[in-house]
Amino acid sequence: MARDTELLARIESHDAVVGIIGLGYVGLPLAVAFAEAGFRTLGFDVKPEVIDGLNAGRSHITDVTSKRLSKLTGDGPFEATLDFDRLGEADAVVICVPTPLSKTDDPDLSYVVAAAEAVRSTLRPGQLVVLESTTYPGTTREIVQPMLEETGLIAGEDFFLSFSPERVDPANPVWHIENTPKIVGGLTPTCHRLTTALYGEVIDEVVEVSSPEAAELAKLLENTFRAVNIGMVNEMAVVADRLGIDIWEVIEAAATKPYGFMKFFPGPGLGGHCIPVDPIFLAWKMKTLQYRTRFIELAAEVNGEMPRWVVERTAEALNDARKPLNGSDVLVLGVSYKPDVDDVRESPALDIIKILMQRGANVEFHDPFVNVLEIDGELEHSVELTAERLERADAVVITTDHSSVDYGFVGSQAAIIVDPRNAMREACDAIVYPIAGPPRASGSSLAGKS
């Protein structure tokens, strides 16, 4: 039996062993999905505490509960391991490792390269390898394929290689691994067919494209679209402020048009593992082809200025109260990059806190998901959100609007609130400074909703 035919049969019968490299926000939900579908699933990671916790049924991410995980461990189909020599046991290996930017904004593929090296050391005929890590077009074919073919095995003949970008949105209550359409781009038609079959066993809809490069670019287009439009609406917020207009009211009014408009919201800046980073991958790639992506660079510039804009808004609010920013007590609410997660990667709150401290403010933070932050080498601990703490603050800055925070309580105790997230939509006793436009006096409310 041909290698591809044998692997396809193992996939369709759920006898295939699936290996997942990287057990974070992307890899762990995928591993759980395969295990719940009946596939024996091996999860690989380099952190002993993660491996020990998972094998004991303890999840470290919010999208996979420990209750759900514990049903799959022990005698179940899921096992986590530090032993990358066991990659040879897997019929299909999926790489879900981070792809950050370097200090010079170049793509850092060190995690992808390390994963590919691990796969190469155990690669055997008949294996399927899928890269899910977000990266620039050409990575699968130009980086991963040559590394794996150093074994003497040929991609598309002896083993199979594809790219299928992750589409994980942590804490999204509606869209998750199983019901989010999955893009697949195989190196060859056989690679494509096998990868489509694999994901088709656990995901409702598989979207097929012609090549790994098309799949790689599709992922970058998705997040560049968001980054550029968020940059546009952030600039519109500055425009609205100069005109003395409530930007939230304007957005809601524009959104009544039934075609040709999509709502995007301003905020304190971009955060997370995708939107601030992915467009830079594309900009970097195009620079190697002597093309400048001006829209992308401009959006990054506008979005990058938003933390400083929030600090200036805070200084303005304090100045109206006849207080200087230097020496004022500022309480920051929410430091993760989005609501209801504990991920602080690229969070604009970090920059806001740093700038506030540089300007002489005394800063503390509260976040129900984040206990400790490192700011310029110093550890800062989340404080309890009490009436006394809110009353003591000269200004409260809402940088992340977690759903578990009682904003009615915040508004009843704080004197000044800087609200770039539009969390304070209801009338309250505080004076609220939105991201743009005039402050709202105590007792009034905003029309817009985020």
Query: pLDDT tens digits for 367-380?
Result: 999 999 988 888 99
Predicted confidence at residue 281, as pLDDT, reads: 86
Mean of pLDDT values over 112-116: 97
Which residue's structure tokens are 């004076």? 431
Q: pLDDT tens digits for 65-92?
A: 999 999 999 999 999 999 999 999 999 9
Predicted confidence at residue 214, as pLDDT, reads: 97
Is the model's pTM score more than 0.75?
yes
Percent of the chain with pLDDT over 70: 98
Whether 448 shows a pLDDT value over 50: the answer reads: no
Q: pLDDT tens digits for 178-205?
A: 999 999 999 999 999 999 999 999 999 9
Predicted confidence at residue 102, as pLDDT, reads: 77
Parts of the chain belonging to CATH 3.40.50.720: 3-209, 242-434
Candidates 30, 25, 21, 82; CA nearest to 51 is 82
Predicted confidence at residue 310, as pLDDT, reads: 96
Q: pLDDT tens digits for 257-281?
A: 999 999 999 999 988 777 788 888 8
Predicted confidence at residue 445, as pLDDT, reads: 57
Whether 106 shows a pLDDT value over 90: the answer reads: no
Mean of pLDDT values over 308-334: 96
Whether 449 shows a pLDDT value over 50: the answer reads: no
Split at pLDDT 50, 70, 90, the class of 137 is very high
Is 274 part of the annotated catalytic residue set? yes
* Burial (CB count within 10 angstroms: exposed 0-12, middle 13-18, buried 19+), residue 152: exposed
Following DSSP, what letter does each residue of 167-210 receive, concatenated? ---TT-SS--TTTS-EEEEESSHHHHHHHHHHHHTT-S-EEE-S
User: What CATH number labels 3-209?
Assistant: 3.40.50.720
Mean of pLDDT values over 312-320: 96
Set 96, 191, 274, 428: catalytic member: 274
Q: Which long-range contacts (CB under 8 A, 24 or more apart) does 372-380 make?
A: 373/335, 373/344, 375/350, 380/353
**204 vs 346 pLDDT, higher one:** 204
CB 223 within 8 A of CB 275: yes
Phi, psi of 55 (to 5 degrees): -65, -20
Residues whose CB falls within 8 Å of the CB of residue 79, separated by 6 or more in sequence, listed in order? 41, 42, 43, 55, 73
Token output for 262? 């999509």
Candidates 121, 48, 132, 56; CA nearest to 90 is 121
Split at pLDDT 50, 70, 90, the class of 170 is confident
The per-residue pLDDT of the chain, averaged, comes to: 93
Mean of pLDDT values over 155-170: 95
Q: pLDDT tens digits for 374-420?
A: 888 889 999 999 999 999 999 999 999 999 999 999 999 999 999 99
Predicted confidence at residue 280, as pLDDT, reads: 86
Candidates 109, 107, 98; CA nearest to 147 is 109
Pick the CATH number of 242-434 from 3.40.50.720, 3.40.50.1980, 1.10.1760.20, 3.90.1720.10: 3.40.50.720
Split at pLDDT 50, 70, 90, the class of 211 is very high
Token output for 332? 């920051």
